[in-house]
């Protein structure tokens, strides 16, 4: 099968699948001008590789926020999962990129995606990666990744946007289980586990869940007092 020719994806209507494309390469290497030219010339922003990697995944894992912003502005679908069930947000956290994480959250990335991750068969896994047919790496949230790279700033940002510190991965572990006792990340997660979110935080999260990326624009148009608007907006 010729994988260099784009064909309809087997993983849902999110674009096309192909071998790695010039858009993937430009995003991965942080070549902003090349990426802009490709998109201006009509290249698909949501092309996925055979293991369901999008250019957005590549830009996030390599910590290229300018490319991430460009892809999102061009219509990149923010919550596409790769063959391991990881979203671009997971990859941004894995790379420790606070700027990429914030961009994804501002564009509506799900902090707590459902744990019915898009997965491949063990045979497909073995063919693509040569891995143990029984090996799995599914159901990790962005918080798990932030914990693994010891980034309390990422943890705080994710919780601010509704990240659930009690969600477990496929091994039954919470994010705190990937931290060292007494470390800043462990202390941060321990605090959030024992301290209920404030009414302000809960109100902000509910607003965002209902309105998505339009929340900040919509709330300013509501027929409510400016004091309540300030209370609901994500401003410090």
- DSSP characters over 48-94: B-TT---HHHHHHHTT-HHHHHHHHHTT--TT---TTS--HHHHHHH
Q: What are the C-alpha distances in Å from 148 to residues 29, 90, 96, 144, 173?
A: 24, 11, 10, 6, 12
Contact in structure between 56 and 111 (CB atoms under 8 Å): no
| Least confident stretch, 5-14, 129-138, 183-192, 205-214 | 5-14
Which one has a higher pLDDT value, 116 or 31?
31
DSSP 177: G
Banded model confidence at residue 134, pLDDT cuts 50, 70, 90:
very low
Sign of CA dihedral 167, 88, 160, 183: positive
- pTM recorded for the entire structure: 0.69
126: pLDDT strictly greater than 70 = no
Q: Give the range among 11-25, 49-63, 146-160, 176-190 with minimum mean pLDDT.
A: 11-25
Regarding the domain delimited by 7-139, which CATH topology (the fold level of the hierarchy) does it fall under?
A: 1.25.40
Distance, in Å, from the CA atom of 94 to the CA atom of 96, rounded to the nearest integer, reads: 5
Angstrom distances, CA of residue 184 to CA of 63, 141, 148: 23, 19, 12
pLDDT bracket for residue 234 (50, 70, 90): low
33 phi, psi to nearest 5 deg:
-65, -40
Determine which of 44-53, 90-99, 200-209 has the lowest per-residue pLDDT on average: 200-209
Cα separations (Å) of 134 from 77, 88, 120, 231?
30, 24, 12, 49
Q: Which of 9-18, 27-36, 53-62, 213-222 is predicted least confidently?
A: 9-18
Enumerate the domain spans of the chain. Answer: 7-139, 198-236
Interatomic CA distance for residues 197 and 183, integer angstroms: 22
Phi-psi region of 130 (alpha: psi -120 to 50; beta: other; left: phi over 0): left
Nearest C-alpha neighbor of 111 from the set 138, 80, 143, 135:
143
Q: How far apart are CA 218 and CA 134, in angstroms?
A: 47
Q: How confident is the model at residue 62 (pLDDT cuts 50, 70, 90)?
A: very high
Per-residue pLDDT at 9 exceeds 70? no
Q: Which segment, 115-119, 173-177, 226-230, is predicted with the most confidence on average?
A: 173-177
Rounded mean pLDDT, 87-107: 91
Structure tokens at 93: 């956290």
- Judged against a pLDDT cut of 90, whether residue 128 lies above it is answered with no
- Say what the pLDDT of residue 108 is: 86
User: pLDDT of 135-184, one tens digit each?
Assistant: 334 567 889 999 999 999 999 989 988 888 998 887 889 999 999 999 99
pLDDT for residue 125 = 35
- Average pLDDT of every residue of the chain: 80
């Amino acid at each position: 099968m010729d994988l260099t020719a784009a064909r309809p994806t087997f993983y849902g209507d999110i674009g096309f699948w192909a071998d790695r494309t010039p858009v993937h390469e430009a995003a991965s290497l942080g070549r902003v001008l090349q990426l802009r030219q490709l998109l201006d010339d009509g290249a698909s922003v949501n092309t996925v590789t055979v293991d369901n990697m999008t250019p957005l995944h590549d830009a996030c894992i390599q910590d290229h926020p300018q490319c991430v912003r460009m892809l999102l502005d061009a219509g990149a679908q923010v919550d596409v999962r790769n063959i391991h069930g990881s979203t671009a947000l997971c990859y941004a956290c894995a790379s420790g990129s606070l700027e990429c994480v914030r961009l994804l959250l501002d564009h509506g990335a799900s902090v707590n995606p459902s744990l019915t991750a898009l997965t491949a068969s063990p045979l497909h896994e073995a063919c693509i990666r040569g891995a143990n047919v029984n090996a799995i790496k599914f159901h990790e949230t962005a918080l798990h990744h932030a914990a693994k790279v010891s980034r309390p700033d990422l943890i705080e940002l994710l919780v601010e946007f509704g990240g659930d510190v009690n969600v477990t991965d496929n091994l039954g572990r919470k994010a705190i289980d990937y931290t060292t006792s007494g470390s800043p990340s462990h202390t941060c997660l321990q605090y959030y586990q024992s301290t209920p979110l404030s009414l302000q935080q809960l109100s902000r999260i509910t607003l965002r869940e209902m309105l998505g990326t339009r929340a900040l624009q919509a709330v300013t148009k509501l027929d409510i007092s400016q004091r309540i608007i300030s209370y609901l907006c994500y401003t410090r």
